[in-house]
Amino acid sequence: HKLEQLWGLEASPWLSVACMLWACPMPASYDRACSGAGGSGGLSISALCCSCGQWNSPHLFHGYTGLRPKGTVSFCLPPFSSSFRRLDVLTLTPWLAPIVWEGTFNSELLDSAYKPLNLTIGVTAFAIGKYTMFVGRFVESAEKLFMKGYRVNYYIFTNDPQVIPRVQLQPGRSLSIVPIKKYSHWQEISMRRMEAINRHIAEVSHREVNYLFCLDIDMVFHNPWGVETLGEMVAAIHPGYYNVPRSQFPYERRSSSAAFIPDSQGDFYYAGAVFGGLLKQVYEFTRACHMTILADKANGIMAAWQEESHLNKRFFSHKPSKLLSPEYVWDDTKPKPPEVRLIRFSTVNKDYKEIRD
Amino acid sequence: MCLYQTACLQSLRNGKTGGVKGYFTKRHLYVIGCTTLLCFSFGYLWNTSNGTWLDTPIKISSTMSSNTQDLDDFHKIKQPSNHILEDLLQIELPRMIYTKPQILKPSRSDVLLMTPWFAPIVWEGTYNSEILNEQFRQRNVTVGLTVFAIKKYVAFLNKFLETAETYFMVGHRVNYYIFTDRPEEVPKVPLKEGRNVVVLQVQNYPRWQEISMRRMEMINSFSQQRFINEVSYVVCVDVDMRFNDQVGVEILSDLFGTLHPGFYAAERQSFTYERRPASQAYVPRDEGDFYYAGGFFGGTVMEVYKLTKKCHEAIMMDKAKGIEAIWQEESHLNKYFVYHKPTKILSPEYLWDDNMGRREILKKRRFLAVPKNHAAIRNK
């Protein structure tokens, strides 16, 4: 009888969407604990229904609140016992910033809000010296998995534009090569990234993109990386330190450094390989990090993990508005723990001695 | 401070090569003591001078004060919401000691903490007041609290304001906006520093349903006239309530609603949405995320302006058709939230009625209904 009741309400769009849903089961998102508690944990019709009209959400658009998305997709969700729930991990920081894990968000819902905004997302990556060999795999995997369906601009910073491979790109996506100077030491190369990104935003990317992600090049996408990652200022949790006490975080511990964080402080250890956000925020962030790096230089000190230490200091004093779980920055040499259901972006195995300096 | 001492002591000790015994003569101890004292005072001076500062000036008042009364101009204003959030990110926090959040230990496992569109659901234990207070305090945010005391409802004001003084946005600047038809009956409640009462005279209506629904129109009109120039956030609540526990900056967001205490565990088909398609507030049985309470919602001035405008227009359209939504403006509010998802949701801790008893999941009951005699109070 429920079906008959629902048939009356614009049957065809509802039915087609419902068929779509039945065809793609989401076993991982269903919360086993909920189904016992009498919530709508099972595949009930009411849980899967969806034909909400257009909608928008103020903050979701980080400044584009005037717009109303067109289109009719929006997925409603069952109330309290949501199918989008994780009980095994922290999904909110103490300052109420979301932590993005598989199973905490509804991609279709988010896409329906973001797609109509016609955003362009930028990606910076540094391929200096022998690191140019990683560009091909990085861009190829990004073409399949990074912000699919959105406009993307890759900015590859390199000292050797000739060797950058020409990768076939999807429509709406472009790649530009940004020539930069090669420093003699890999640590210097690493730390100068902040300055280079900052300068590039001021000169070029502010005209071209709305959001910017700054990623390491020696990595590959393995699973989708979508608009769930968009935020005002986004940091990623380092895969090696998410389960250790803060005294073991490899923060810079010398008080003479501008990146100093004492033993008793710190929320998370963030990875230097992934950060991003609204262009304006990334500009401010890279400026601040570069300033502290220069301050250390003037004092003849180099932080323990180069710009990653400075990034951590900055994120400690200016908390990010969204965090990405280690799914978004993984180390392939580590075995996959149960809490990491998907590995979306991770390192490529390499011989450090061979490629540095 | 003790870290400085230790650092100083350590740097001193590193200079020594031998063991402790026999090496630390009285003279050595005297030197160490003086140096420690020096380090201590240096550290203290360094900390106080190197305090926090705001990188960006607060943009809201400067852009808004040049605004005219014209509706079109109001629409063209740069959205305050993104400015607020951007300002938030420039805040540099001072030194704070608190337990580190644990990745493999969610703060609460008995309740939903976040919606699939990343809106946090605020429960006790999920947030750190110190961090949030510091972020908002540095921006010198002013919060407006609107409350309607029409006809006999003025009787609730005393308790409401007294308890608000104890629990609402303590330490921050607050403007209470009392909408009333009886301004002379508004009690003079002693207020803490940085807090003001603004009495706004409005007309009353014969029916309580009408009074309830006209709140949307009145909040909308004053958002444009006053709130935009005076506050960053507007919080709209019922008056027949009292604060019983902390209601602070953890609630503030671009657009927030509160879970109705009667429906937080219900299925969407049992939500008391307006179900007649003829009404503007109609929500089909297969739609809707939550049932929100009409007695506690808010957000930035701009978002509250948009919400109240939409709701008021919908109410008027219904009126023209001779239809009144089942739960008056609450029905329209719920309709709005289906298609304009809130960026934060408050748990039933923020709107409770003790007549419903206690719940395991409610660790705090922050804002409670005051018992009232409906027949005596309404329509009088």
Question: Following DSSP, what letter does each residue of B318-377 receive, concatenated?
Answer: HHHTT---TTTHHHHHHHHHHHB--SEEE-GGGSB-GGG---TT-S---EEEPP--HHHH
- Model confidence at B232: pLDDT above 70: yes
**Angle between helices A186-203 and A307-317 in degrees, nearest 10:** 50
Among A57-61, A168-172, A198-202, name the one with the lowest average pLDDT: A57-61
Q: What is the pLDDT of residue B283?
A: 95
CA dihedral A225, B101, B82, A206 (to 10 degrees): -50
Q: Taking CA atoms, what residue in B is nearest to A241?
A: B103
Q: Which residues of A touch B116 (CB under 8 A)?
A: 75, 77, 82, 84, 104-106, 109
Please return the burial class of B203, using the count of CB atoms within 10 Å of its CB with bins 0-12, 13-18 and 19+: exposed
Q: What is the pLDDT of residue B336?
A: 97
Is A319 an interface residue toward B (CB < 8 Å)?
yes
Q: How far is A120 from chain B (nearest CA, A)?
A: 18
* Interatomic CA distance for residues A265 and A186, integer angstroms: 29
Which one has a higher pLDDT value, B314 or B34? Answer: B314
Region B93-118 average pLDDT: 90
Catalytic positions of B = 330
Q: What is the pLDDT of residue A353?
A: 65
Contact B267 A98 (CB under 8 A): no
In which element (H, E) is residue A253 found?
none
Q: What is the pLDDT of residue A65?
A: 36
- Model confidence at A18: pLDDT above 90: no
Q: What percent of chain B has pLDDT over 90?
A: 65
Instruction: Give the tens place of pLDDT for each residue, B334-344.
Output: 999 999 999 99
Among A295-304, B23-32, B149-158, B275-284, name the one with the lowest average pLDDT: B23-32
What is the rounded average pLDDT for all residues in chain B?
83
- Reading the block at residue B100, the tokens are 């580190």
Binding-site residues from annotation of A: 126-128, 131, 216-218, 238, 308, 331
Contact A40 B266 (CB under 8 A): no
Is A2 an interface residue toward B (CB < 8 Å)?
no
Band of residue B148 on the pLDDT scale cut at 50, 70, 90: very high
Q: How far is A185 from chain B (nearest CA, A)?
A: 30
Q: Which residues of B touch A319 (CB under 8 A)?
A: 93, 131, 135
Instruction: Give the tens place of pLDDT for each residue, A217-241.
Output: 999 999 999 999 999 999 999 999 9
- Measure the CA angle with vertex B112, ends A15 and A20; round to 5°: 15
Residue from the list B79, B112, B287 with its beta carbon closest to the beta carbon of A65: B79
Region A166-177 average pLDDT: 95
Instruction: Give the tens place of pLDDT for each residue, A83-126.
Output: 788 999 999 999 999 999 999 999 999 999 999 999 999 999 99
Q: What is the pLDDT of residue B359?
A: 93
Instruction: Give the tens place of pLDDT for each residue, B10-34.
Output: 444 444 444 445 555 777 777 777 7
Contact B114 A98 (CB under 8 A): yes
Q: Taking CA atoms, what residue in B is nearest to A81?
A: B112
Residue from the list B89, B122, B339 with its beta carbon closest to the beta carbon of A232: B89
Residue from the list A88, A267, A280 with its beta carbon closest to the beta carbon of B104: A88
Q: Which residues of B touch A280 (CB under 8 A)?
A: 86
Band of residue A79 on the pLDDT scale cut at 50, 70, 90: very low
Is A321 an interface residue toward B (CB < 8 Å)?
yes
Binding-site residues from annotation of A for Mn(2+): 216, 218
Q: What is the pLDDT of residue B71?
A: 33
Secondary structure (3-state) at A347: strand
Region A160-188 average pLDDT: 92
Q: What is the pLDDT of residue B215?
A: 93
- Model confidence at A190: pLDDT above 90: no
- Model confidence at A344: pLDDT above 50: yes
- Model confidence at B63: pLDDT above 50: no
- Model confidence at B57: pLDDT above 60: no
Band of residue B93 on the pLDDT scale cut at 50, 70, 90: confident
Q: How far is A192 from chain B (nearest CA, A)?
A: 23
Tell me which of B14, B53, B89 to substitute to probe the interface with A (most A C-beta atoms closer than 10 Å).
B89
Contact B93 A86 (CB under 8 A): no
* Interatomic CA distance for residues B169 and B144, integer angstroms: 10
Q: What is the pLDDT of residue A34?
A: 27
- Model confidence at B75: pLDDT above 80: no
Q: Which residues of B touch A249 (CB under 8 A)?
A: none
Q: What is the pLDDT of residue B147?
A: 97
Which single residue is written with the structure tokens 């973001």? A114
Q: Which residues of A touch B92 (CB under 8 A)?
A: 317-318
Identify which of B210, B301, B295, B287 has the alpha carbon closest to the alpha carbon of residue B255: B301
Band of residue A244 on the pLDDT scale cut at 50, 70, 90: very high
Q: Taking CA atoms, what residue in A is nearest to B112?
A: A80
Cα–Cα distances in angstroms (integers) from residue B285 to residues A41, B32, B79, B289, in the given order = 18, 76, 34, 11
Q: How far is A255 from chain B (nearest CA, A)?
A: 9
Which one has a higher pLDDT value, B204 or B66? Answer: B204
Contact B341 A86 (CB under 8 A): no
Is A96 an interface residue toward B (CB < 8 Å)?
yes
Query: Are the CB atoms for B167 and B192 separated by under 8 Å?
Result: no
Is A243 an interface residue toward B (CB < 8 Å)?
yes
Is A23 an interface residue toward B (CB < 8 Å)?
no
A positions 27-46 inside 8 Å of B (CB): 40, 46
Among A80-89, A211-220, B143-152, B161-170, name the one with the lowest average pLDDT: A80-89
* Interatomic CA distance for residues B32 and B16, integer angstroms: 12
Cα–Cα distances in angstroms (integers) from residue A75 to residues A34, A196, A317, B280, in the given order = 20, 41, 37, 21
* Interatomic CA distance for residues B273 and B266, integer angstroms: 12
Q: Which residues of A touch B88 (CB under 8 A)?
A: 321
Q: Which residues of B touch A53 (CB under 8 A)?
A: 339
Q: How far is B103 from chain A (nearest CA, A)?
A: 5
Q: Which residues of A touch B276 (CB under 8 A)?
A: none
A308 among known catalytic residues: yes
Is A284 an interface residue toward B (CB < 8 Å)?
yes
Band of residue B45 on the pLDDT scale cut at 50, 70, 90: low
Number of A/B CB contacts below 8 angstroms equals 210
Band of residue B69 on the pLDDT scale cut at 50, 70, 90: very low
Q: What is the pLDDT of residue B66?
A: 31
Q: What is the pLDDT of residue A10?
A: 47
Contact B286 A9 (CB under 8 A): yes
A positions 116-135 inside 8 Å of B (CB): none
Q: What is the pLDDT of residue B90?
A: 61
Q: What is the pLDDT of residue A83?
A: 77
Which single residue is written with the structure tokens 């997302």? A121
- Model confidence at B49: pLDDT above 60: no
pTM: 0.77
Band of residue A340 on the pLDDT scale cut at 50, 70, 90: very high
Q: Which residues of A touch B114 (CB under 8 A)?
A: 91-92, 98, 104
ipTM rounded to 2 decimals: 0.77
Q: How far is B68 from chain A (nearest CA, A)?
A: 19
Among A29-38, A109-118, A337-346, name the one with the lowest average pLDDT: A29-38
Residue from the list B105, B267, B287 with its beta carbon closest to the beta carbon of A40: B267
Is A55 an interface residue toward B (CB < 8 Å)?
yes
Please return the burial class of A355, using the count of CB atoms within 10 Å of its CB with bins 0-12, 13-18 and 19+: middle
Looking at this protein, which amino acid is placed at residue A274?
V
